[in-house]
Structure 1
């Protein structure tokens, strides 16, 4: 639905989010990429078999389980095909493309910083050289923030290639919340050494916890040069790390950051190929219900898209907010824990949450790069005589955005100084996800994703 007073075009949403910036498994690269999965990466809430009672109903066809004809039966010209086409072409594809564009600029920007870091001699009193290095580092950090904001929009679009093989491609881009900084430190040393047990180092064959946006955050924003491993986990490769010269450690970290940024660029390109290529997933979604399609009905494809919205339930509400609030167990026990936030080093957690909510709103309202087509889930609810649910959700999204915008500084500081504000943000996000899991799913006769059936907070 088009709301002229609140356009949420992709570029505008990302620009607004950016304005507040403050805060060994192996794989192989290439178009045919597949990665071994890890059985413990996805948590199951224990309610996999919850049924709304209308799972197989194609609600825009009067309840039949046949492909959508392309014409809405109840109101106007809504159809599920139009919903899929708009979200695929004007929301998902531009989001992935913008992320790929941002990722493509990172290697040169990070290398510009690393060249200055490598050449820097701290024994000389060269203030100009230090200022140039610091400026280049800031540019690399800002490039990371821009790339991260674009990715946090994409986090609400985990479908197809990003969902396949236990989210292997998604984890190569961003492995949070399973980030392991000890693994990153180990690979900094392995990369500097040039090999692992005599085999030439190849980042594309390293596990997701050693690469991606979370590894780059650690490398570019962490000023503590000691490794993050326990003595037992450090291994021989890091045995002498903490005793090495500080400048040498900075140089090795920046050199690995260059390698990680190149890998991120290649992974983003792989995403675009698997999404938008001739046989890509975007085409599969839009061909739903046709002969030979992997989706027997259009509703099945709509359900895959709606599944992605549930990122707001588990990852956003539970991991990003409830866990550091102490509502779930964290590394501090069951109390306020600033160390449990998503973005510890860049202090970018609030910006990430804002981008997540903005992307949810985009998908719900269908507001993408084509202002003439804003077919979204709000229109689907209108089509199913569920306008009250639509209105409640639109107001809930606005309330969640306002609560997040009211948080000052970074999330770590807000947890210490404004617990009520963070708690309010969690409550407002929960209002939206409660609607999502109940009225939204039931009114549209869609199925819940298997991992999002239970909530106890």
Structure 2
């Protein structure tokens, strides 16, 4: 039954979501190319909308970091995630320094730059930050030697647009790489996940544990980082889409747990648990996922604003996710005889 569930998740959830992201990345590349060429507000707004659409799909994939997107230390991991979205390591100052240096004009060479100046997270800053100021300290060379101020507002906008297009090109390349790794006519990771009879998964239980590990993103990142009060952990400071990102994370959790959307009959973790007599746990986790989605949706305005204007709503969202992840870290793992991921080993919150 485990292999049947893994097969269903691969074909109904993981692969279609990766395909959706690859398509949205292609649209984003075209939109940023148009904006870099024209510089108009209209094309900028289209590029922003395309970024939001691509990021919405990617935020689902954040909770599906199994195999190619996972760190290189994981089973089948190729560390593609950080190539596409490296939050929270993003460095706005470094992005500004690259805006001055213009190394981004050679996309092939820029591919070797650190991930904190690339990806969807850096692209957000370039597309949505309108002020002609930079995020570096006064002691930074671009401020001390006057090279930033010498650019002028129009040139800063033009360079940011060109830089965003380069990043969109690189994200599209990585999206294509990720898709090729999953496709049956490529790396066939979906097939390897189902077979679990050798590399990268020696057994079906190890493959199942890898999928379970991916769900812990909701605990370790959605709850502990994105809903943190630490300002440096604000996920979407320029587009103000932090709440939407959380909703996408929880939506993905529900899809993996149930095997697909709630109105679809498909094999998921819920079916494995029911087969073990854990009907009550399934009912509780399903209800708590719905409650967490509702609590996040109830946060008024943007998450950044609500931290100040309505901290109780933010606290309620965090409590709702905690109710879900308490079961994830406890009875869920116990019932399925799975291991907690290494990075969550000491987490008791």
TM-score category of the 2 structures, normalised to the smaller one: over 0.9
Contact 2:3–2:194 (Cα < 8 Å) also in 1 = yes
Answer yes or no: is the 8 Å Cα contact 1:320–1:342 preserved in 2.
yes
In structure 2, what is the equivalent of residue 286 of structure 1?
194
Residue 346 of structure 1 corresponds to: 239
The answer to which structure has the higher helix fraction is: 2
Q: 2:93 aligns with which of 158, 177, 182?
A: 182
Partners of 1:193 and 1:172 in 2: CA distance: 15
Deviations 1:151-204 (A, max 9, x none): 000000111111132673111100001111112122222326858xxxx97121
Find the counterpart in structure 1 of residue 295 from structure 2. Answer: 403
Which residue in 2 is equivalent to 1:5?
Answer: none
1:245 deviates by 1.4
Of 108, 124, 131, which residue of structure 1 is paired with 2:30?
108
Do the aligned residues in 2 keep the contact of 1:227 with 1:242 (CA within 8 Å)? no
1:169 matches 2:80? yes
Match of 2:266 among 362, 365, 374: 374
Listed as ranges, the matches of 1:8-407 within 5 Å are 79-117=1-39, 133-165=40-72, 168-191=79-102, 202-234=109-141, 239-276=146-183, 277-289=185-197, 292-321=198-227, 323-324=228-229, 330=230, 337=231, 340-367=233-260, 371=264, 374-407=266-299
Q: Give 1:393 deviation, angstroms.
A: 0.4
Q: How many pairs were matched up?
A: 344
Counterpart-to-counterpart distance in 2, 1:369 and 1:427 = 23
CA RMSD of aligned residues (A): 2.2
Unaligned runs of 5+ in 2: none
Contact 1:222–1:345, Cα closer than 8 Å, also in 2? yes
Work out whether residues 91 and 117 of structure 2, in 8 Å CA contact, stay in contact via their aligned partners in 1: yes
Q: CA deviation at 1:231?
A: 3.8
SS in 2 for 1:171: helix
Q: Distance in 1 between matches of 2:285 and 2:250?
A: 12
| Residues 403-442 of structure 1: pairs in structure 2 closer than 5 A | 403-442=295-334
- Unmatched 5+ stretches in structure 1: 1-78, 118-132, 325-329, 331-336
Q: Distance in 2 between matches of 1:374 and 1:134?
A: 44
Instruction: Compare CA radii of gyration and give the structure with the larger one.
Output: 1
> What is the rounded CA distance, in whole Å, between the counterparts of 1:101 and 1:281 in structure 2?
19
TM-score, with normalisation over the residues of structure 2?
A: 0.93
Moved more, 249-258 or 147-156: 249-258
Higher RCO (CA < 8 A, seq sep 6+): 1
